[in-house]
Amino acid sequence: MITEKVVLNICVGEVERTLSIVKPDGVKKNLIGEVIRRFEQKGLRIAALKMLRISRDEARGFYIVHKERPFYESLTSFMSEGPIVVMVVEGEDAIAKVREIMGATNPKDAAPGTIRADFASDIEHNIVHGSDSPESASYEIPYFFSAIEINYQY
């Protein structure tokens, strides 16, 4: 069925969208609100949001690009060990902005004031995920959300 939301989804081109996740360690540390606050404070909008727990295989599918990496099994185990919050974040340069707010993968390398510098305990347990490119976002967003679950605020 072609609804107004589906049409908007197709037509709105100039605003970038990215998939972000508050990982199980972030949820356990009560950082859901803090992560969202930092995105909103930089002018980004939350277009979709939900909390769920993914299976090991669902985590493996999400991180399929890393399947040959030594950390793949440990990472996918960690990602399925507790609930996560997944969200679609939108705005101008949303992909780069979210990555900037997150900080480097390893908290030891993350710039001061970034989420990972402030809260991550190590390179694996680093609180937050953000798509690294438009190609990644176009795989990751539909992994969790259908078109009618994504809302536009224009």
List residues with catalytic annotation.
129
Name the residue among 93, 94, 95, 59 with its Cα closest to residue 78. 59
By the 8 A CB rule, do 80 and 130 touch? no
From candidates 20, 84, 129, 150, binder to ligand UDP by CB under 6 A = 129
Residue with tokens 């996740």: 21
9 binds, among ligand UDP, Mg ion, none (CB under 5 to 8 A by kind): none
The answer to whether 27 touches 82, Cβ cutoff 8 Å, is yes
DSSP 8-state assignment for residue 71: T
> In the stretch 101-120, what mask flags binding to ligand UDP with x, by CB under 6 A?
----x---------------
Under the binding rule (CB under 6 A), the answer on residue 123 touching ligand UDP is yes
124 binds ligand UDP (CB under 6 A): yes
Which residues contribute to the site for ligand UDP (CB under 6 A)? 71, 75, 105, 123-124, 126, 129, 132
